[in-house]
Structure 1
Amino acid sequence: MTRGDSPKPKTFRHDYATYKNVCREMDWVPKCDCHKETKEGIVAFSAYQSAAKNYKAYETWIFDTVLVIDGNSYDESRGIFTAPSEGTYVFTWATLTDPNKMTHPFLWVNGQFKGYAAFNNSITSQKFWSSGSNTVLVRLKKGDKVNIASGYRATYAREKYTSFSGWKMH
C-alpha cells in the first residue's frame, strides 16, 4: 500500500470497530466496558507523613500530605481510605525508621489485618536506618475502610519516607 492508497480516517475507524467486535465475539479480547472507569472516575490516592511520629500499638497512622487524590476516597485527617465501589484494589505502603527504633505497619481492612511489614532496629548495636514496604491486593465492597496501623507493638515512623497509596484496579 502506498501513501496515496492509505484508508481515510472514517473508513479506518469503521474497519477498526468491526475488527474489535469480531475479536470480542471470538473471546480474543475481554468482554468488559473498558471505558467504565473513565465514566465513573478514577479512584486513587497517594500521601505521606509530614512529621516523624511515635505510634501506639494498633494506632492508625496519619498520612497528612496528599500528593494525589482522585475520587475523594482518602481522608488525610484520619488516615482512612473508604472504598467508593466494589472491586479489586491495590494498596502499597513504605516506611523508614531510625537507628534503635522499630516499626510494624500493618494494612487493616475493616479492623482486620490483611498485610504485614516489620523492621526492628531496637535490638542491634549498629547505627543504621531501616526501611521497607509491602503491596497487597484486596477485594473490597462499597464502604469498606482501609488504613495502615501499628501492629502489636508501639512503633516509630520517619517523616516524608513513610507513605501510603492505593488505587482501584477494576
Structure 2
Amino acid sequence: MRRIFLFLWVCLLVSNKRAEGGSMMAHLMRQAGTLKHGLKLAMKIGDIGTHKNDVAFTAVTSSATNYRSSRTIAFNKMLLNHGNAFSTSNYRFTAPSEGLYVFSWSLALVKGRSYNGNVNLMKDGSVYHSTQCSNTHQQCGNTAAVSLGKNNRVWIQTRSNNVYVYGTFSSFSGWKVHW
C-alpha cells in the first residue's frame, strides 16, 4: 500500500516539475492528501490487490450414503478450504464477501440399482440450480455461476428419495471469481 502511495506521489512530482518553490510543495501536499483519502476509501470498500477475500474449496464425501429427499449431502472431507468458507459441520459454504462465485458438484452413482442423483444447488434455502440423473449414469454433476452477497450460504441438497452418493468419488467445489 505504501509503495503504491509513494509511486503515485513520485509520478505527481515528476508531472508537476514546472511548478516552482512553495506552490509546488503546496500542490503536492494537496495531491497527497487526496490520494491518501482515496486509498483509505478504497480499503473500506474492498481489497486493492491483497486478495484478502480469496476463497476456494473442494470437499468430498467420506463414505457411501443413501439419502432421502430434502437432505443436505455430507461433503465432510476437505481437500482444500482456502479462506475457510466451507463448513464440514453443516456442509455449507458461506460467502465471506459479495461477488461472483462458481460452484461445481459431481456425484458418483452405483450403476444397475434404483438410485438417482437428483440434487439441487441451494442458495439461502431456495433452489438455485438442479441436476437430474438416473442410475444409468456413473457420474453426474453440474456447474453454476452464482452472485452472492456477504454471508449468503450455498449447499447441495437432495430432491428425491434414493439419492445414493458413492464414497470419496463425489465432490463439491467452489471459488470466487475476480476480474
Name the structure 2 match of 1:114: 128
Letter in 2 for 1:131: Q
CA distance in 2, matches of 1:39, 1:134: 27
Matched position secondary structure for 1:148: strand
Are the counterparts in 2 of residues 110 and 144 from structure 1 also a CA contact under 8 Å? yes
CA distance in 2, matches of 1:120, 1:144: 30
Letter in 2 for 1:50: S
Name the structure 2 match of 1:9: none
Count how many residue pairs are aligned between Structure 1 and Structure 2. Answer: 134
TM-score in terms of structure 2 length:
0.68
Question: What's the CA shift for 1:113?
Answer: 1.1
The residue correspondences of 1:1-170 to structure 2 (distance < 5 A) are 36=48, 38-99=50-111, 100=113, 101-121=115-135, 130-170=138-178
CA distance in 2, matches of 1:74, 1:164: 10
Are the counterparts in 1 of residues 117 and 140 from structure 2 also a CA contact under 8 Å? no
Are the counterparts in 1 of residues 69 and 161 from structure 2 also a CA contact under 8 Å? yes
Letter in 2 for 1:145: R
Q: CA RMSD in A?
A: 2.2
Question: What's the CA shift for 1:41?
Answer: 4.1
Name the structure 1 match of 2:14: none
Cα deviation code 1:39-63 (max 9, x no counterpart): 4142111110010001111100111
CA distance in 1, matches of 2:139, 2:51: 38
CA distance in 2, matches of 1:136, 1:129: 20
Are the counterparts in 1 of residues 120 and 159 from structure 2 also a CA contact under 8 Å? yes
Structure 1 gaps, min length 5: 1-13, 19-32, 122-127
Cα deviation code 1:28-87 (max 9, x no counterpart): xxxxx9x73634142111110010001111100111110111111100121100011100
TM-score in terms of structure 1 length:
0.72
The percent identity for this pair of structures is 33
CA distance in 2, matches of 1:37, 1:166: 21
Are the counterparts in 1 of residues 103 and 172 from structure 2 also a CA contact under 8 Å? yes
CA distance in 2, matches of 1:119, 1:109: 21
Question: What's the CA shift for 1:154?
Answer: 3.7
Cα deviation code 1:71-120 (max 9, x no counterpart): 11100121100011100000000011112121212100011111211221
Letter in 1 for 2:169: Y
Are the counterparts in 1 of residues 93 and 153 from structure 2 also a CA contact under 8 Å? yes
Are the counterparts in 2 of residues 119 and 130 from structure 1 also a CA contact under 8 Å? no
With over 3 angstroms needed to count, the CA separation of the structure-2 counterparts of 1:119 and 1:37, relative to structure 1, is: farther
CA distance in 2, matches of 1:78, 1:117: 21
Are the counterparts in 2 of residues 97 and 156 from structure 1 also a CA contact under 8 Å? yes
